[in-house]
Each structure stands twice: as structure tokens, then as C-alpha cells.
Amino acid sequence: MTYPATLIALIVGLELYEALHILFVLIAAPAFGLIVYVVSFWGNIFTRNGGKWVSTRGRFSPMWQFGVQYDMNKPIPENNRSRILLFDTLTLLFQFLLTAAVFLIYRSVPENGFPVNWRSVMLWVFIEFISLCVLQVVVHIKTHFIKRKGLEGYIDDLFARFRRGEAFPDSMMRPVQELPFAGCSDKTKIRYYRFYIMHLLWTGQYDRLYLPVHETAAYLRNKAFLISDTGYYYDVVFYYSRFEYDPEQAHFFMDRIRSVLAADPDANAKRVLAYYAYGVENDKEKARLFTDQALAVTDNFSLPGMERELERRLINELDERLAADGYVSRLQAIPQKET
């Protein structure tokens, strides 16, 4: 009886560990200028829409996932890196406190039990928790003390400029192979490509989208869907719906992201849905609906500056196409702002 009890305890322990981890982040993040914008578990997806949480159903997954982003209503402070380091350190400390609590439970359980040796069961749960903590320590060190010196640090600088609403000069945004950073992981390259793709869209260099999008698609295809990869999926689905017109590829990636897209209230999500409906499904009525929804929320888009104006361009482009086809918006199109 001890073996099945241990297996069940390990599964329950992992679920409890992740649930309490997310609860801590939900409570602590606002103090550091961060917000949790999406939580997913067992196929349930909760997305923050304004001040409310909206629930949708997706594919079942035993994984607990969540997404954290900067609170776009607050400026990034000068000591932002130190604040994020402190936040991650406190999160790690909380995980060690959970592990210590499991150890105390293990020590308090009698050594012998029938038909289940519960002390043996709790020992395995403690080993599970301490293993997760060690893994988080490794990630913590790599994130804050190793990666940030290479391409990761360059990405951080790009993001800080991006948050200030700045567009990027061509000299900063080049194919990753032309940047002076060797030995970058695929994950880091894909993070950089998010900014590079945005730059190419902003500057109208559409012929250069093929390489970064195809490398992003190859990266996503060979791994399970994670909430943290949502933006990459948006880029890929949009590209195959708008530029390369590959329904098979667009459908493959849309299947993975559909429930998250449906729950996302932001303009970029509505824009991806609109172009998918127009270019892949050939459903202009649906494209009109999503385009109107995007037009209605562009001014409230959570990201400032260049990305908000890029959304205006892309949404208005489809709006004009639909109007030319006789599908006129019920809303007044958002005028372009001078840049």
C-alpha cells in the first residue's frame, strides 16, 4: 500500500506546490510593479480583463502555468533589475519555506505505519520539494547572474527602451546571427525575435520576416504549449494568415493557442483572430467582428508607444480591406497618429 500512496502523494504534493507558488506570486507581484495576467490549470484558463478575471476552457493539462508582466500603468524604476531580483529571491525563499514545512511534517510522522508507512511517503514528498527548489536555484542563478551578460542582457535593454515607447534603429535590430553574441540558446534567440519581428513590421520590411518566424515556428512545434510562449504563437499565426498564407501551418498553431486567444481582451489578440478569419478561414463576417473588437480596444492596449501604434496600422489595414470588400465597420476607424 505504501507505493500507490507515495505516487498519489507525489502528484498531490506537486499540484499543491504549484498552487501555493502561484498564490504567493499573485499576492506579492503588485508590490514589485508586476501583475499576473493569466493562470492556467487542468484546462481552465483565467485571464485578467481589466480588474476582473475571465474564465475559459482549453485543452486539459496537468501543469499549473501563469504569466507575469510589468504593470503597464506604472513606469519602470531605475532600480528595476534589483527589484526583479528581490522579487524572484523572495519567491524562492517562499518555496524553501514550503519545503521546510514538508520536512517538519515528515519528522512528526511515526516511523512505522500499517498498511501505509506515511513517514516513507512524506520523505519522498520532501525529496520532491527539495528537488524543485534546487532546480529553481539553478534557474535563478542563470537568469540573474549569467544570461543577463549576453543576449539576455541585450534583450533587457531593448525591453526597457520599448517600455519607454521608443522605436528601434536598424543598427540595433539585425538577424540574431549578425549580433555579437555567441552560444545563445534557442529560447533566448526566440525571445529576441519577438522584438525583431515587431521592428520588421514597424519598418515595413516584410520580406525579412521569413527567417525569424520560421525559426520561431520550428521552436514551438517541438515543445509543449506554455503560457509564457503566447506572444510567439501570436506572431506565427499572424504571419501565416497575413504574409505567407499557409492555412495548414496557421491552423496547427491556432489549435494550440485558440482558447488563450479567445480569452485575451487586448487588441493584438483580436487582430490575430481577425487576420486568421480573413486569410485562413475566408470568413469576412467573422473578420469584421474581430476587427471591430480590435478597433474598440486599441486605445486601451496594455503596451504603450510603438507597439500600440503598430497595432493601429495592422488593424486599420485589415479594416480597409474589409471595407473595400463591402464589409464596413460599425465603428469609426481609429486614425493613424503621426510618428
Does residue 330 lie in a domain region? no
305 and 172 within one domain: yes
Sign of the CA dihedral running 167, 172, 177, 180:
negative
Long-range contacts of 20-26 (CB under 8 A, 24+ apart): 20/98, 21/64, 21/91, 21/94, 21/95, 21/98, 22/64, 22/66, 24/91, 24/94, 25/66, 25/68, 25/91
Same domain (yes/no): 258, 281 = yes
Backbone angles phi, psi at 124, to 5 degrees: -70, -35
Judge contact between 50 and 265, C-beta under 8 A. Answer: yes
224: helix, coil or strand? coil
The Cα–Cα gap between 295 and 315 comes to 7
Domain that holds residue 236: 151-324
Domain boundary among 149, 169, 197: 149
C-beta separation of 266 from 260 below 8 A: no
- Is residue 319 within 8 Å of residue 89, measured between CB atoms? no
b/e sequence 1-38, b meaning 16+ C-beta within 10 Å: ebeebbeebeeebbeebbeebbebbeeebeebbbbbbb
CB–CB of 303/278 below 8 Å?
no
Tally of CB atoms within 10 A around 84: 18
φ/ψ bin of 326: left (φ > 0), alpha (ψ from -120 to 50), beta (otherwise):
left
Same domain? 105 vs 183: no
Q: Distance between CA 327 and CA 287 in Å, rounded?
A: 9
Residue 51 lies inside a defined structural domain of this protein: no
Same structural domain, 216 and 130: no
Number of separate domains in the chain: 2
257: nearest Cα among 228, 293, 278? 228
Local confidence pLDDT in tens for the 339 residues of the chain:
456 777 877 888 788 888 888 888 888 888 887 877 778 777 677 777 666 776 777 666 667 777 777 666 666 666 667 788 888 889 899 999 989 988 888 888 777 655 567 777 788 888 888 888 898 888 888 777 765 667 877 887 777 777 666 666 666 788 888 888 877 888 888 989 998 998 899 889 999 999 999 999 999 998 888 878 889 999 999 999 999 989 999 999 999 888 888 878 788 899 999 999 999 999 999 999 999 988 888 776 555 567 788 888 999 999 999 988 887 776 654 444 443
Residues 138 and 224 in one domain: no
Please check whether residues 230 and 100 belong to one and the same domain. Answer: no
Three-class secondary structure of residue 227 per DSSP: helix
- For residue 330, with 0-12 CB atoms within 10 Å meaning exposed, 13-18 middle and 19 or more buried, which class applies? exposed
Provide the residue type at 109 as one letter: V
Kindly state whether residues 158 and 96 are assigned to the same domain.
no
C-alpha cell at 312: 493601429
41 DSSP assignment: E
Position 337 scores a pLDDT of: 47
Question: Is residue 180 domain-shared with residue 131, that is, in the same domain?
Answer: no
* 267 and 319 assigned to the same domain: yes
